[in-house]
Structure 1
Amino acid sequence: MSAREGLAGFAALRWRWIAAAVVLLAVLWAPFQLVPFRVFQFTMVLVYAVALLGLNLLVGHAGQISLGHGAFFAVGAYGAAIMMDRWDLPYPVTLPAAAALAFAIGLGLGVPATRLRGLYLALVTLAIAIFLVPLLKRFEPVTGGSMGLTLEKPRPPAWSGLAEDQWLYFLTLAVAAAAFLLTFGVLRSRVGRALHSVRDNETAAEVMGVRLAFYKRFAFAWSAMLAGAAGCVYTWVIGFVSPDSFAVTLSITMLAGLVVGGLGSAWGPLLGGLFVMFVPSLSQDVNKAAPGVIFGLLIIAVMYVAPTGLAGLAGRAAHSFDKTLRKG
């Protein structure tokens, strides 16, 4: 490598760090400049990003299809709501408890993943999402039935000087940052390499000594844990849960958001969270009579322009910028 190429590479790396610093400053600055409703919207983007982080690990990195991710999201949401409403537990305790509950259920439901694949696995996960809503309505003494449960939102401590919406935003941001760092560490370890080998070629992975059943169940459990944590934070932010909030369309929208954001990409879950939060409401604003049509057309348009998702499109733009710097 010539000195000129080395300097160009250093300049490109410097620009990436500058871009990351700008994004970080914008994230920290936003809740102090936006109106409360916008702060709430971006808080929900972070909530969905944590849920999609788990789905990305399962589908994007382990290659296991799931159409029932919203069910694990609901497990975390209802688990936290019941602990806060029925047992009067403080909200910080509900996060690890809801994540552990979702992890245990995901570990158990991961058993079919060791025997099924492709369309058959997708149908099993879809069935989980379908029967969850009537199940929640049936146990009314615990779940509140169709009326759901109304909860008190976490209040900011006096020393923080923050409004309620700002406090919830920073709580969610802290959970999201921890989830991303933890998942990044897993994917950088031998576990991540094993998951990628399972995704790329199961036969070759098994020949190399990778325990397929173990890593498939791990992917389901880890994915469910992150969805459960996101569901818990959802309960904090919304202050209300009802069965109809977790219909099967939520699972489908999550999967669509992840694909649009960028399957298997580090930025895919965050971009997918933006998609899940803003595109349905945008579709409703464009055409109140047929928001589903607008929603579908937007997905088709994004996939046509960016087949590898928005993260892939951004990556190609960054690569072109790097090449420009190297030639300059």
Structure 2
Amino acid sequence: MSGPAEVTEKAARAAAPTRGRSLARVATARRQWIVMAVLLAVACYAPFQLVPFRVFQLTMVLVYAVALLGLNLLVGHAGQISLGHGAFFAVGAYGSAIMIDRWDTPHLATLPVAAAVAFALGLALGLPAMRLRGLYLALVTLAIAIFLVPLLKRFEAVTGGSMGLTLGKPVPPAWTGLAEDQWLYFLALAVTVVAFLLAHGLLRSRVGRALHAVRDNEAAAEVMGVRLSFYKTLAFAWSAMFAGAAGCVYTWVIGFVSPDSFALTLSITLLASIVVGGLGSFSGPLLGGLFMMFVPSISQDVNDAAPGVIFGLLIIAVMYVAPTGLAGLAGRMTRSITKILRKE
């Protein structure tokens, strides 16, 4: 028989790997928070060093990142395909524009309302997700994006029809000393930070674990007691809310909305950008926002006659080099550099 000392030693050896994994996770989380703090500091410093046009471009990157954050929640974490995410983006944009134009609502006050309206619409349209999956679900969301533009043009008295609505942009308070482009940038940055923190908390909760279970194996998730219909619908609602918030900030930044700004190509570009950025990764929406903002302009510079062709070829090239997205490529490069440094 083993003595108490031997039993204690065996228990300690058995617990050592668990403690090692826990410490590794803590160290990884600490590094991630440090990286995010550095990125946030750089983001706060950038608008004071760049020309207004570059500040505008970075602002649009943040806007797209919030929209892609919602799409990533739906596609990357819940495993549901959406080809109509641009419709939720448009709902937030037009909701904010109508409140500002018709009711003279303060810009900041339109954000929670636009997000709430998009959440409610996502909740309603998420009901088909209870019974549909794969291509059938993609067709339903595609139909939403297709009929949205004619619908916006039809109600001209409210939406401005094909001419759209022209709005004033948020004016920076005098005490900030900021220019208009810098103020818009910091508003977008604040919304982005809050959105990422909210998504991070959501995915680390019971809801996030349930979404991952639904994504990995619906049958097994249902056996374990996960309510598929509830969590699928909730994923649509949350993703729509993020897209609606992004559309609201888009209205502030651009100062103009029209139906043609939210055509089907917007939904397709959003889906392509989150796939390129990295599905299911925390940095994927930000990388996808950078891709969505800068790659079309690069394509335009390469060939004015066929920017769409260049854009498509660049997507193919990126997916060939990084099949798991730019976030996966960055992770592999970081691990390779770490191994090389450890060997030295």
TM-score by length of 2: 0.91
Paired position in structure 2 for 1:187? 203
Paired position in structure 1 for 2:267? 251
Paired position in structure 2 for 1:167? 183
Amino acid at match of 1:307: P
2:236 is the counterpart of 1:220: yes
Report matched runs for 1:18-167 at 5 Å.
Answer: 19-167=35-183
Alignment check: 8 A CA contact 1:11 1:325 kept: no
Amino acid at match of 1:93: A
1:254-302, CA deviations, whole angstroms, 9 ceiling, x for partnerless residues? 0000000001100000000001111111111111111111000000000
Change (3 A) 1:14 1:91: closer
Structure 1 gap ranges (5+): none
Q: Within 2, Cα distance between the matches of 1:239 and 1:19? A: 33
Q: Return the offset for 1:16.
A: 6.0
Q: Report the secondary structure of 2:248's partner residue.
A: helix
Q: Report the secondary structure of 1:86's partner residue.
A: helix
Q: Within 2, Cα distance between the matches of 1:12 and 1:242? A: 45
Amino acid at match of 1:129: A
Q: Return the offset for 1:111.
A: 0.6
Change (3 A) 1:136 1:101: same
1:206-226, CA deviations, whole angstroms, 9 ceiling, x for partnerless residues? 000000000000000000000
Q: Report the secondary structure of 1:276's partner residue.
A: helix
Higher Cα Rg, which structure: 2
Q: Within 2, Cα distance between the matches of 1:156 and 1:140? A: 31
Amino acid at match of 1:63: G
Change (3 A) 1:101 1:210: same
Q: Report the secondary structure of 2:66's partner residue.
A: helix
Paired position in structure 1 for 2:287? 271
Aligned to 1:262, which of 262, 278, 302?
278
Aligned residues: 324
Q: Report the secondary structure of 2:304's partner residue.
A: coil
Q: Report the RMSD for the aligned CA atoms in angstroms.
A: 1.9
Alignment check: 8 A CA contact 1:12 1:325 kept: no
Change (3 A) 1:226 1:15: closer
Q: Return the offset for 1:253.
A: 0.3
Paired position in structure 2 for 1:202? 218
Structure 2 gap ranges (5+): 1-15
Q: Return the offset for 1:21.
A: 4.3
Amino acid at match of 1:125: T
Q: Within 2, Cα distance between the matches of 1:280 and 1:99? A: 28
Amino acid at match of 2:191: V
Q: Within 2, Cα distance between the matches of 1:44 and 1:236? A: 11
Worse overlay, 122-131 or 280-289: 280-289
Alignment check: 8 A CA contact 1:206 1:212 kept: yes
Change (3 A) 1:12 1:147: closer
Q: Report the secondary structure of 1:228's partner residue.
A: helix
